[in-house]
Structure 1
Amino acid sequence: MCNFVNNASRMIDQVRKFTDSTNFNNALKVTLASVIPVFIASYLGHFEIGFTVAIGAFLTYPSDIPSNLKHKVNGVLVAALIVSGCNLLVNVLHPFPYILYPVISVVIFFLSMISVYGHRANMVSFSGLLATALAFGHVHTGWEMFQNSGLILLGGLFYLLISLLFHFVRPHRYVELQMAECIKLTSKYLKLRGDLWNIDADRPKIIEKQLHLQVELNTIQENIREVLIRNRPDTGSSNQNRKMLLVFISLVEIMELALSTSFDHSKLQEKFSGHPKVLATYQHLAYNLAATLKQLSKSIENKNQYISKHSLIKDLENLENVILEYAKATGETENSEGVWMLTNMVHYAEKQIEKIKVVERAFISAVSLQDLKGRDKDLDKLLAPQYYPWSTFRENLSFSSTNFRHSLRLTITILIGFLIGALFPLQNIYWILLTIVVIMRPGYGLTKERSYHRIFGTIVGGLIAFAILSVVHNHIAIGTFAIIAMILGFTFTAVNYKIGATFVTIYVVFVYGLLTPDITNVIQFRILDTVVGGGLAFIANYFFWPSWEFLNMRVHLKKSIEANRNYVEQISIFYNKKGEVTIAYRSARKNAFIEVSNLMASFQRMSQEPKSKQKQLPQLYKLVVLNHSMLSSSASLGTYIQSHKTTNASEAFNVVIKTVVRNLNDAIAVLEAKANHSELIPEVKEDVALRFTELKNIRAKELKESHLYDPEEFQQKMQEAQLVIEQLVWLTNLSENIFKSSMKLQDN
């Protein structure tokens, strides 16, 4: 009985979590906006009018992406106008095929190209392309075509009304759920760092997982920035807004600190092999850091009051006691290096606990402006500006642009779809066109995956729907099943396209089951048209100006190196000038994280492509890891000089930083094919080697000349010099390896 109750409770929690998710809420919006007009119009005896309004809502829905209210409204309005306009254009030109197909080709190409303006424009483009394809399914003439387009526009406006109602009823829930997901992913990242302390840990595999997590975190952090920061003028300085800002800023700092603090696990395992309790205690603390964040995430998702289950302060005290025991057991002379290593680990844990406590307090008590301490200043300057210059469109009108090649490829593939529909007795040509629009993506790997999933979902969904319709003949029951399938289809499409395609197919077949008695032919032709559309999209992405990722990898690689260089330069400026962290520094840090994540995402896409197109995969992966390590080392130096009162930067420091920047500039020049390799190799290598040999002595001399006669203060400053020198050595080695690997990449 107890197990039954526990299982039922878990099931209820899962259902509640599912229905509270952002994807479910989005699915509910479009379902309500589509179903309500049909119900009302059917009651009044005008089913076709309601159905047309529903199509307008359905086609406008993709453009409704999270953002501030003004951009949300503008995006949906533009999409509704484009959807209605495309439908009218097809109907007006349909009697004149010699005009229709050239004009539609231009429209499809233009709609696809506007995706160069970012995610919102991409989704507006998708709405327009869907509307253009669907317009060929039901052509109208005379006054009907204007009436039809007007009803579609009305459907888009009705969807906007439903979306605004959801927004005002639960204005903060989206940000809360995104924040919960961000906390959960950060927890997973910290958990992986804890896994590195296992003696038999597969460290390359764990590091690869961390890189994948950074890609996910980068995406979700951008979503939160877009909504949270752009919404500040609308929400003002409310407690909820301050709370979310404080949590978000703290999460970014937690990730930066985790990335910036790296330990030589092999050396530490060897050093403390005779004292396993030391590392086990630290690993326990590391796991509890992750567990605390995971518990916070669950508390937000379930809307429960947060009560901490872990005592991080006690875990820290246990670690400090274990270190004292180690120091006593090994003696003064033997343990100095080991204690210094362990002290660094304690400092890292202290900082993470401090930041996690800030997140905890934000969910327990109110947050004031003083709690932010000015850390929210100028955050809006970290966002990409929202404007759409014509020059961006014009600059992409060349074969060097991935968007241009994709737009041309999509246009030609749709024209081939028209040709196949004209040559063969297919029932619904527009299903082929819809399949091409939905499946086709700029990258080969994603198109291939979506093709398989779409075909699988269509076949399975068609069979399930046919089985249900052969048993159930009641229109009310079928309509109810259609609504449920629609909600589930839109919910799963964003997270599991295979399942989403299955439910969408069930929904479509149920709708046709209500409209026509010959459902067998509907299912057969839908499966056939989907296979044809999916096959065309797959073949076109392979043969028509393919955007193989190994070509894009070099672009992302160059951007990543540039971002790392800019970050290093800003760290150097901050170390020299001191003072407050500037917006230029924060922007450079953010861009470095983004570009390294983009580089990893590009590598992931490349690994999904045919083996013959995975050119120089090991060399590229090495450069991905080197850039990630470069970011980690830079963040380590930047975090240290922010959290410590540092001395004036030495001339030796500046010389080494200039060398690091020069190495990265040389790597960029090599990738751009603007430099002769042989001219770059001997650059000031002897001078740098000399600087590393004498850097510590130079620093000691500078400190003595500054009249630091207090031995303790002098030792503290020398410790700073030691830590800074270690990072400078590492940065220099990394920058040299990036340069050498870039040369090998270009030579092969």
Structure 2
Amino acid sequence: MRSHRTHFLRFLLQSEPGELAIANGLRAALALGVPMLIGQFTEQRQSGLFIALMAFSVNMTNIGGPYWIKATVMAAATLGIAVSAFVGTLVGGVPALAVVLTFLWGLGSGFASLYANGGANVGLVIGISFISTIAQSGDLNLALMRSLFCLIAGGWAMLLSLVMWPFTPYKPLRTAVAECFSAIANYIQAFPAKTTGTENILKIREALETARTALGTARLGQQARSWMDEQLLVLIEHGDCLLGSVIALIELLEVNLEYQQYRAVQRLVDDALAQLSLSLQAIAKVISGKAASIDFGNLHRIHEALKEQENLQRQAISGSETDYTTLVALTNLVLMLEKLLKQLQHTAEIAKSLETDSKIRNRDVEPILVVVEQQRSLLSLLQDNLTSDSAIFRHALRIGVTLALGVTIYSITKLPMGYWVTLTILLVLKPNFGATFQRFFQRVGGTIFGVVLAAVLAATITSKSVLEIIIVLTVFFGISLISINYGYAVVFLSIFVLLITDIAHPIGWQFSGLRVLNTLIGAGLAFGSHYLMWPNWERQHLPNQLATALQQCRNYFIDVMAVYQGTKERDTIIAQRRQTGLAIGNAQATFQGLLREPQVQIELVEPMMTLLAYMGRFINAVTVLAVHLEHFQGTQPLPELESFVRQIALLLEQLADAVQQEIAPPPLPDLDQTLQKIQPQLEALRTARIQELTVNQGHTPVRQAVIDYSILDIEIDEIVRRVTAMHSAIVRLSMLNTKAIA
């Protein structure tokens, strides 16, 4: 019981990774504060407050990205809140009509999430403006005036967010691409401290996909080719290739550091990792437009020193097979570092070229891969989701019904400030149950704490000017903290809401109690509706996500091994590696969502974590083999290799079926027996090569065969260990599932 309580508290109080959104907080404070200040000086405090709130809402739709995208999204939000304020003001006095239109507005708000973050934010602020104005109905003149104020507010928010943007239109894109290289640098830095893991690679993969999405979004609607866009795309692809090489390097070090010869060059290895990280950070700075010096001198010197150690080791061979095995391992390290150097140099050249003048930017360039697939129309996307099979449709319907129910309740009960009920519903109700469950407690807890603080401030501070300064500060801190922890943000935003109300009408503890009561009602309705209407449990989705990830692991393994077997070219490997990384990332995200759900079975957490971790490690081993293909010369395939590949591929398919059906997988095949058949063939190659070295024979077919299969010799053992660990995790999962059913 204690562990469940500890998990629950940690789940509520934990902060999301990231930094304070200080720029967003400042912009929100200005959007709100300036209209309030103008209203105070012109003695139009209520009008200034309304414009301030609407400007604050439009500012929330600033999703970043290129200038024209931000302008489009914020303009849509401005028009949307103007229409919502007009209609809401007129229908607020007709309860039955207000309920029907609230349902429709809620439905539209839910469907808006079809159009990515921009659409979701626009839908949210339009919904907020509608449910706020129906609670304060009026005549046609008031409706027109509110619509005009909304247009003014939107114009102010757009001016604030966009006026300086045309001078740096590519800054968000360049920052997104730079994050990819910073993430790879952080991954390398974490290795000496033994803190590298699947989560590090997932962060890099997420950064790469974020950059791809940002670039794709920027290209929508642009007919002309852009030199800058194409260079940024090339850098993203370079980042993907660098990720593969870095994974291979880290994997080699993890496997081979036990050898004495590796320990002898440990300092050089540590220096190489440090220089790789520094070089990547410098490249990231240049890509983002910051001044930085990219110097590979130290890395070149370290590479030469390692080559010298390799030559010394070669000369010291005394016919020992162990010595030759470690020599091959050291040779692979030198080759990998050399490859990384070439990749970094090429990447650095492209990064530096981003600062070239406009004449060069407009030059002709060779065609490259299409950045974005043909986009479907907005209408067809909506039509595709008008079905109960669509999670977005179900969520939109859930929002509409719950908002309509909230309006009905506060209309019938004559609940003062009833729109807080619907506002809470809109902010708490999320597409998956775990997130809604978390928002429920964060919203209620943050509101209660914030209301108490606001009541104390209102009772002790009589100066409206001081209160307005506090209001602006609470907006700044509230918006800055949203990305860190929603509950913390709610504390400040609750103070903001109550103090704004206090400026118009002094509040007391009774009024504060109403705020808490309305929040409890709204949060309860949101929680209940999600629990009763198509609850979206991550526990139900995770088996499919894990099965998909395992299938993609199988596809990646087969593609790589097909090249070693001489049955396929390697042109599809990078694309398949990306698909595999995305599948594992999706499974990881679903697993994180599962951890937010109530009554999660703690016993399931460890085997799921193990399965996800070893999937990532399995992919690392396969990536080493994929990267080594650059040095592969098509040596005759090993006779037993086909049996090994067939066994692993079948095993991964069986694991995917087992985890999807939540049953125990078949027993493990005798993989050790297969390895024992492969090992003598590899040993024979090494022995033959040692004999060649005794007579100073250089480049021979035997030498090439040893190079071709040296990595394979190491990684097939790692692959067996990692699929064995995955099999064991799925067996434990099946036992727990069986116990739960019983």
Per-residue CA distance 1:45-66 (angstroms, 9 max, x = gap): 6554444444333333343323
- Is contact 1:512–1:519 with CA below 8 Å preserved after alignment? no
Matched, 1:592 2:571: no
- Is contact 1:677–1:743 with CA below 8 Å preserved after alignment? yes
- Is contact 2:247–2:620 with CA below 8 Å preserved after alignment? yes
Matched, 1:431 2:429: no
| Residue of structure 2 equivalent to 1:621 | 609
Of residues 206, 211, 231 in structure 2, which corresponds to 1:219?
A: 206
Q: Distance in 1 between matches of 2:207 and 2:49?
A: 36
Of residues 168, 173, 176 in structure 2, which corresponds to 1:175?
A: 173
Q: Distance in 1 between matches of 2:647 and 2:54?
A: 59
Matched, 1:231 2:218: yes
Per-residue CA distance 1:517-567 (angstroms, 9 max, x = gap): 336555443344334434554555556543222211123223323433444
| Residue of structure 1 equivalent to 2:299 | 312
Query: Structure 1's 384 and 309: CA in aligned 2 closer, same or farther, altered over 3 A?
Result: same
Query: Structure 1's 488 and 434: CA in aligned 2 closer, same or farther, altered over 3 A?
Result: same
Of residues 611, 616, 622 in structure 2, which corresponds to 1:634?
A: 622
SS in 1 for 2:431: coil
Between stretches 117-126 and 299-308, larger displacement belongs to 299-308
Q: Distance in 2 between matches of 1:114 and 1:378?
A: 30
- Is contact 1:650–1:699 with CA below 8 Å preserved after alignment? no
Query: Structure 1's 509 and 667: CA in aligned 2 closer, same or farther, altered over 3 A?
Result: same
Of residues 628, 631, 648 in structure 2, which corresponds to 1:644?
A: 631
Of residues 250, 258, 268 in structure 1, which corresponds to 2:238?
A: 250
After TM superposition, give the deviation of residue 739 of structure 1 in Å: 7.4
| Residue of structure 2 equivalent to 1:346 | 334
Matched, 1:380 2:371: yes
Between stretches 681-690 and 99-108, larger displacement belongs to 681-690
After TM superposition, give the deviation of residue 677 of structure 1 in Å: 9.0
Greater RCO, CA 8 A, separation 6+: 2
TM-score by length of 1: 0.77
After TM superposition, give the deviation of residue 190 of structure 1 in Å: 1.2
| Residue of structure 2 equivalent to 1:487 | 476
Query: Structure 1's 307 and 286: CA in aligned 2 closer, same or farther, altered over 3 A?
Result: closer
- Is contact 1:194–1:287 with CA below 8 Å preserved after alignment? no
After TM superposition, give the deviation of residue 433 of structure 1 in Å: 2.1
Matched, 1:458 2:450: no
SS in 2 for 1:231: helix
| Residue of structure 2 equivalent to 1:606 | 594
After TM superposition, give the deviation of residue 734 of structure 1 in Å: 5.9
Per-residue CA distance 1:397-450 (angstroms, 9 max, x = gap): 33x654455445444544554465457675322223222322332334433443
Query: 1:25-424 residue pairs with structure 2 within 5 A?
Result: 25-39=23-37, 46-196=44-194, 206=195, 210-231=197-218, 237=226, 244-245=232-233, 247-263=235-251, 268=256, 270-272=258-260, 276-294=263-281, 303-306=290-293, 311-320=298-307, 331=318, 333=320, 334-358=322-346, 377-378=368-369, 380-381=371-372, 385=375, 387-388=377-378, 390=380, 394=384, 397-398=387-388, 402-415=391-404, 417-418=406-407, 421=410
Could you say what the CA RMSD is over the residues aligned between the two structures, in angstroms? 4.7
After TM superposition, give the deviation of residue 241 of structure 1 in Å: 5.3
- Is contact 2:28–2:475 with CA below 8 Å preserved after alignment? no
| Residue of structure 1 equivalent to 2:22 | 24
Per-residue CA distance 1:139-175 (angstroms, 9 max, x = gap): 2233422442353255335434443324213323323
- Is contact 1:180–1:297 with CA below 8 Å preserved after alignment? yes
- Is contact 1:629–1:734 with CA below 8 Å preserved after alignment? yes
Query: Structure 1's 86 and 566: CA in aligned 2 closer, same or farther, altered over 3 A?
Result: farther
Q: Distance in 2 between matches of 1:149 and 1:57?
A: 13
Q: Distance in 1 between matches of 2:684 and 2:119?
A: 56
Query: Structure 1's 536 and 187: CA in aligned 2 closer, same or farther, altered over 3 A?
Result: farther
SS in 2 for 1:129: helix
- Is contact 1:439–1:537 with CA below 8 Å preserved after alignment? yes
Q: Distance in 2 between matches of 1:727 and 1:385?
A: 42
Query: Structure 1's 578 and 695: CA in aligned 2 closer, same or farther, altered over 3 A?
Result: same
SS in 1 for 2:21: helix
SS in 1 for 2:634: coil
Per-residue CA distance 1:303-362 (angstroms, 9 max, x = gap): 444476993333444545556666777855252222222332333333334444455555
TM-score by length of 2: 0.78
SS in 2 for 1:95: coil
Letter in 1 for 2:591: F
SS in 1 for 2:700: helix
Letter in 1 for 2:190: L
Q: Distance in 2 between matches of 1:536 and 1:98?
A: 20
Query: Structure 1's 462 and 321: CA in aligned 2 closer, same or farther, altered over 3 A?
Result: farther
Q: Distance in 1 between matches of 2:297 and 2:420?
A: 55
Q: Distance in 1 between matches of 2:318 and 2:676?
A: 36
Q: Distance in 2 between matches of 1:172 and 1:267?
A: 42
Letter in 2 for 1:623: L
SS in 1 for 2:371: helix
SS in 1 for 2:550: helix
| Residue of structure 2 equivalent to 1:4 | none
**5+ long unaligned stretches in structure 2:** 1-18, 687-696
Q: Sequence identity of aligned pairs in percent? A: 17
Query: 1:664-703 residue pairs with structure 2 within 5 A?
Result: 664-669=652-657
Q: Distance in 2 between matches of 1:128 and 1:729?
A: 57
Of residues 495, 505, 508 in structure 1, which corresponds to 2:494?
A: 505
Q: Distance in 2 between matches of 1:637 and 1:115?
A: 41
After TM superposition, give the deviation of residue 30 of structure 1 in Å: 4.2
Letter in 1 for 2:204: L
Query: 1:532-543 residue pairs with structure 2 within 5 A?
Result: 532-538=521-527, 541=530
After TM superposition, give the deviation of residue 183 of structure 1 in Å: 3.6
Of residues 429, 434, 455 in structure 2, which corresponds to 1:440?
A: 429
Q: Distance in 1 between matches of 2:324 and 2:210?
A: 46
Letter in 1 for 2:435: L
- Is contact 1:54–1:152 with CA below 8 Å preserved after alignment? no
Q: Distance in 2 between matches of 1:712 and 1:216?
A: 43
Query: Structure 1's 184 and 697: CA in aligned 2 closer, same or farther, altered over 3 A?
Result: closer
Per-residue CA distance 1:10-47 (angstroms, 9 max, x = gap): xxxxxxxxxxx993333444444444455556655655
| Residue of structure 1 equivalent to 2:7 | none
Query: Structure 1's 396 and 559: CA in aligned 2 closer, same or farther, altered over 3 A?
Result: farther
Query: Structure 1's 157 and 311: CA in aligned 2 closer, same or farther, altered over 3 A?
Result: same
| Residue of structure 2 equivalent to 1:5 | none
After TM superposition, give the deviation of residue 380 of structure 1 in Å: 0.4
Q: Distance in 2 between matches of 1:710 and 1:68?
A: 57
After TM superposition, give the deviation of residue 105 of structure 1 in Å: 2.6
After TM superposition, give the deviation of residue 195 of structure 1 in Å: 2.2
- Is contact 1:606–1:614 with CA below 8 Å preserved after alignment? no
| Residue of structure 1 equivalent to 2:4 | none
- Is contact 1:86–1:131 with CA below 8 Å preserved after alignment? yes
After TM superposition, give the deviation of residue 451 of structure 1 in Å: 3.7
| Residue of structure 1 equivalent to 2:507 | 518
Q: Distance in 1 between matches of 2:317 and 2:672?
A: 41
Letter in 2 for 1:290: S
After TM superposition, give the deviation of residue 588 of structure 1 in Å: 3.1
- Is contact 1:462–1:509 with CA below 8 Å preserved after alignment? yes
